[in-house]
Amino acid sequence: TYRCDSDMTHTPMFHQIEGLVIDKDIHMGHLKGCLDAFCRAFFEVDTVRMRFRPSHFPFTEPSAEMDIGCNRSGDEISIGDGDDWLEILGCGMVHPVVLRHGGIDPEIYQGFAFGIGIDRLAMLKYGIPDLRDFFESDLRWLRHYGFSALDIPSLPGGLSR
């Protein structure tokens, strides 16, 4: 994906994970619960401060951007403490027209969707202060934050290195 942004928390090119859940009686509470469970497991914290801001995406209605509470003081970002906020994903309820075009009856089924940048997740998980460093080809930085080919995080095995 490409966008015209380049700062500490945005890069012109990014990789994104997308999630989609469709079922009967799905609502925004299910979306929030799913994202809360994901963030607590991924960041390995007991509680996560989240806030949802209204936004617009053509394929969801309502749409929101989700921010996560963090501490951005110093050279690292830490999740679960501090008074700062950082946007981590876009989300919303799947627009009925999208369901209809997918052959799903929106009178019976609803769904939610979200998209989250892999680069942003790594930044937050490992306290990386500036996303642009991913693209600098600095071997010292790569060695510091690098991963072994066999280092595959999982819920049973642990998500930390």
Domain boundaries, the chain: 16-142
Q: What is the CATH architecture of 16-142? A: 2-Layer Sandwich (3.30)
Q: What is the pLDDT of residue 18?
A: 94
Residue of 89 and 148 predicted with greater confidence: 89
Q: 156 Cβ partners below 8 Å, 6+ apart?
A: none
pLDDT higher than 70, residue 140: yes
**Spatial contact of 65 and 52, defined as CB atoms under 8 Å apart:** yes
Q: 146 Cβ partners below 8 Å, 6+ apart?
A: none
Question: 150 falls in which pLDDT band (50, 70, 90)?
Answer: low
> pLDDT for 30-86, tens place per residue?
999 999 999 999 888 888 899 999 999 999 999 999 999 988 777 777 787 778 898
Q: What is the pTM of this model?
A: 0.78
Percent over 90 (pLDDT), the chain: 45
Question: 160 falls in which pLDDT band (50, 70, 90)?
Answer: low
